[in-house]
Structure 1
Amino acid sequence: MNTSSNIIVGISIGDINGIGIEVILKTFADKRMLEFCTPVLFGSAKTVSFHKKTLDIQTHIHGINTIDKVVHGKINLLNVWNEELKIDLGTASKELGNYAFKSLDKAVEALKNNKIDLLLTAPINKDTIQSDDFSFPGHTEYLQSHLEGKSLMILLNEELRVGLLTGHIPVSDVASTITPELIEDKVAIMYTSLVEDFGISKPKIAVLGLNPHSGDNGLIGKEEKEIIAPTIKKIRDTGKLVFGPYAADGFFGSKTYEQFDGVLAMYHDQGLAPFKALSFGAGVNFTAGLSKIRTSPDHGTGFDIAGKGIANSDSFKEALFTALKIHKNRAAHIEITKNVLKTK
Structure 2
Amino acid sequence: MKKAENIIVGISIGDLNGIGSEVILKTFEDNRMLELCTPVIFANVKILSFIKKQLNLTAQLHGIDKIEQIVIGKINVLNIWREGVDINFGTNDETVGKYAIKSFTAATKALKENEIDVLVTAPINKYNIQSEEFKFPGHTDYLNQELDGNALMFMIQDNLRVGLLTDHVPVNEVAKHLNEKLIIQKIETIKKSLIQDFGINKPRIAVLALNPHAGDNGVIGKEDDELLKPTIKKLFEKGTLVFGPYAADGFFGSNQYEKYDAVIATYHDQGLIPFKTLSFGNGVNYTAGLSKIRTSPDHGTAYEIAGNGIADYNSFKEAVYAAIDIYNSRNEYKEISSNPLKTKEKQL
Name the TM tier (shorter chain). over 0.9
1:304 & 1:279 partners in 2: Cα distance? 21
Structure 1: segments with no counterpart, 5+ residues: none
User: For the Cα contact (< 8 Å) 1:195–1:202, is it kept in 2?
Assistant: yes
2:129 paired with 1:129: yes
Query: Residue type of the partner of 2:280?
Result: F
SS at match of 1:328: helix
Shift of 1:128: 0.3
Secondary structure, counterpart of 2:32 in structure 1: helix
Counterpart of 2:345 in structure 1 is none
Instruction: Kindly state the Cα deviation for residue 217 of structure 1 after the two structures are TM-superposed.
Output: 0.8
Map of 1:104 onto structure 2:
104
SS of residue in 2 equivalent to 1:307: coil
The secondary structure found in structure 2 opposite 1:174 is helix
Q: Give TM-score scaled by structure 2 length.
A: 0.97
3-state secondary structure, aligned to 2:150 = strand
Letter aligned with residue 194 of structure 2: L
Q: 2-side partners of 1:316 and 1:57: how far apart? A: 16
Q: Answer whether contact 1:2 1:117 (CA < 8 A) is retained.
A: no
Q: Following TM superposition, by how much is the alpha carbon of 1:4 offset from its aligned partner in structure 2, in angstroms?
A: 3.1
Superposition pairs of residues 130-169 of structure 1, within 5 angstroms: 130-169=130-169
Structure 1: distance between partners of 2:199 and 2:78:
33
Q: How does 1:209-228 map to 2 (within 5 A)?
A: 209-228=209-228
Give the partner amino acid of 1:4: A
Residues 194 and 203 of structure 1 are in contact (CA less than 8 Å); yes or no, is this contact kept in structure 2?
A: yes
CA distance in 2 between partners of 1:169 and 1:54 (Å): 38
Instruction: Please give the per-residue CA displacement for 1:240-269, whole angstroms capped at 9, x wherever unaligned.
Output: 110000111111111100000000000000
Aligned length: 341
Deviation at 1:5, TM superposition (A): 2.1
After TM superposition, give the deviation of residue 339 of structure 1 in Å: 1.9
Counterpart Cα distance in 1 of 2:174 and 2:77: 41
Cα RMSD over matched residues? Answer: 0.9
The Cα offsets for residues 80-103 of structure 1, whole Å up to 9 and x where unpaired, read as 011111110000000100000000
- CA–CA separation in structure 1 for the residues paired with 2:325 and 2:117: 12
Deviation above 6 Å: which 4+ runs of structure 1? none
Q: Is the 8 A contact 1:8 1:116 kept in 2?
A: yes
Deviation at 1:3, TM superposition (A): 5.1
User: Which structure 2 residues correspond to residues 74-113 of structure 1 after superposition, within 5 A?
Assistant: 74-113=74-113
Counterpart of 1:116 in 2: which secondary structure?
coil
Cα shift at 1:173? 1.0
Q: Distance in 2 between matches of 1:6 and 1:253?
A: 42
Aligned counterpart, 1:197: 197
Mapped contact 1:190–1:288 kept (Cα < 8 A): yes
CA distance in 2, matches of 1:132, 1:205: 40
1:291 paired residue number? 291
Q: Is the 8 A contact 1:149 1:289 kept in 2?
A: yes
Distance of aligned partners of 1:47 and 1:278 in 2 relative to their CA distance in 1, 3 Å threshold: same
TM-score by length of 1: 0.98
Counterpart contact for 1:10–1:119, Cα < 8 Å:
yes
Alignment of 1:1-344 (within 5 A): 2=2, 4-340=4-340
Q: Measure the CA separation in 2 of the matches of 1:133 and 1:199.
A: 38
Kept in 1, the 8 Å contact 2:65–2:78? The answer is yes
Give the Cα separation in 1 of the matches to 2:284 and 2:148.
Answer: 22
Q: Percent identity?
A: 59
Tell me, in whole angstroms, the C-alpha distance in 1 between the residues paired with 2:339 and 2:255. Answer: 40
Q: Which moved more, 1:107-116 or 1:332-341?
A: 332-341
Tell me, in whole angstroms, the C-alpha distance in 2 between the residues paired with 1:63 and 1:264. 42
Unmatched runs of 5 consecutive residues or more in structure 2: 342-348
**Rounded Cα–Cα distance in structure 2 between residues aligned with 1:58 and 1:241:** 49
Task: Measure the CA separation in 1 of the matches of 2:147 and 2:47.
Answer: 28
In the TM superposition, what is the alpha-carbon distance from 1:47 to its structure 2 partner? Answer: 1.3
Offset at residue 137 of structure 1 (A): 1.1
User: What is the CA distance between 1:2 and its match in structure 2?
Assistant: 3.5
